[in-house]
């Protein structure tokens, strides 16, 4: 998985300028940075090396990668806007006993919580592909992407009760199935899996949103958005 490089303030100014024009020549970019020619040249060259800027003759323009990156800029203060994470909640029901695949989370944050498992959607992945990949990685069970049922979207903004700081902002795509194959892996590096009833989970330490998520086991819940608050258990 690739990660975006951290860029200098002068480079951010260049990317911002290139959002609003097709091309700019070297002198124009130097003027934007308010640096001397040699320093400006260094930053322009760096953006070309990173693949954010294309150079054609004496003109510079945003590459496809540069457009995607620069489009995240808050153009008022030249900072990259934070955005909610896109992830999945995966609900798997055992058709033989009616129990659900539940995971005890053994990593921070929320160490020790019981929950439906899930994972982040990777760049270029469809939601069913994410659900299939995460299920195989974390449980050892195989699910055909076409066997997932979409059960709704849950958007949660979590605050810390002490500082009131937003600690998480996530958009969950809830996927359900009762069709799978393979043997369940009970333990893995960051968790423990088990088939449990919903009432058994309610007797354990769980996410505040568990009942909302559990309701998607029976029906499509549409879109639900809520703000929540966690303390030191985060």
pLDDT of residue 165: 83
Q: Does the pLDDT at position 2 exceed 50?
A: no
pLDDT of residue 68: 78
| Domain extents in the chain | 9-78, 85-230
Chain centre distance of CA 143:
22
pTM: 0.73
HSE of 85 in the Cβ direction (CA atoms, 13 Å)? 15
Q: What is the 3-state secondary structure (H, E, C) of the chain?
A: CCCCCCCCHHHHHHHHHHHCCCCEEHHHHHHHHCCCHHHHHHHHHHHHHHCCEEEECCEEEECHHHHHHHCCEECCCCEECCCCEEEEEEEEECCCCCCEEEEEECCCCCCCCEECCCCECCCCCCHHHHHHHHHHHHHCCECCHHHCEEEEEEEEEEEECCCCCEEEEEEEEEEEECCCECCCCCEECCEEEEEECHHHHHCCCECCCHHHHHHCCCCCCCEEEEEEEECCCC
The 10s digit of each residue's pLDDT in 110-145 is 899 999 999 999 989 999 999 999 999 999 999 999
CB neighbours of 123 closer than 8 A, spacing ≥ 6? 1, 2
Q: How confident is the model at residue 1 (pLDDT cuts 50, 70, 90)?
A: very low
**Could you tell me which CATH class the domain 9-78 is placed in?**
mainly alpha
Q: How confident is the model at residue 81 (pLDDT cuts 50, 70, 90)?
A: low
The 10s digit of each residue's pLDDT in 12-21 is 889 888 888 8
The 10s digit of each residue's pLDDT in 96-114 is 999 999 999 998 888 999 9
Q: Does the pLDDT at position 73 exceed 80?
A: no
Closest CA to 87 of 155, 25, 184, 5: 155
The 10s digit of each residue's pLDDT in 142-178 is 999 999 999 999 999 988 888 888 888 999 999 999 9
Other CB atoms within 10 A of residue 183 CB: 8
Q: Which fold has domain 85-230?
A: Nucleoside Triphosphate Pyrophosphohydrolase (3.90.79)
Q: Does the pLDDT at position 179 exceed 80?
A: yes
């Amino acid at each position: 998985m690739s990660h975006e490089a951290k860029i200098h303030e002068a480079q951010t100014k260049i990317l911002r300028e290139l959002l609003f024009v097709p091309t700019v020549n070297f002198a124009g970019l130097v003027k934007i940075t308010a640096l001397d020619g040699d320093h400006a040249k260094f930053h322009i060259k760096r953006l070309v090396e990173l693949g954010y800027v294309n150079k054609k003759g004496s003109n510079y323009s945003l590459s496809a990668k540069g457009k995607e990156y620069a489009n995240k800029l808050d153009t008022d203060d030249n900072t990259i806007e934070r955005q909610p994470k896109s992830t999945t909640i995966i609900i798997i029901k055992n058709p033989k006993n009616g129990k659900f695949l539940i995971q005890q989370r053994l990593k921070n944050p929320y160490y020790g919580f019981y929950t439906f498992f899930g994972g982040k959607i990777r760049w270029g992945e469809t939601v069913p592909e994410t659900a299939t990949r995460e299920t195989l990685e974390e449980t050892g069970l195989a699910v055909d992407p076409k066997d997932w049922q979409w059960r709704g979207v849950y958007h949660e903004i979590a605050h810390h009760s002490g500082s009131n700081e937003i600690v998480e902002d996530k958009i969950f795509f809830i996927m359900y199935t009762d069709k799978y194959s393979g043997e369940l892996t009970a333990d893995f590096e960051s968790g423990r899996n088990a088939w449990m009833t919903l009432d058994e989970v309610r007797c354990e330490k769980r996410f505040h949103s568990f009942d909302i998520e559990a309701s998607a086991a029976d029906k499509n819940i549409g879109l639900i958005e809520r703000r929540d608050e966690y303390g030191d258990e985060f």
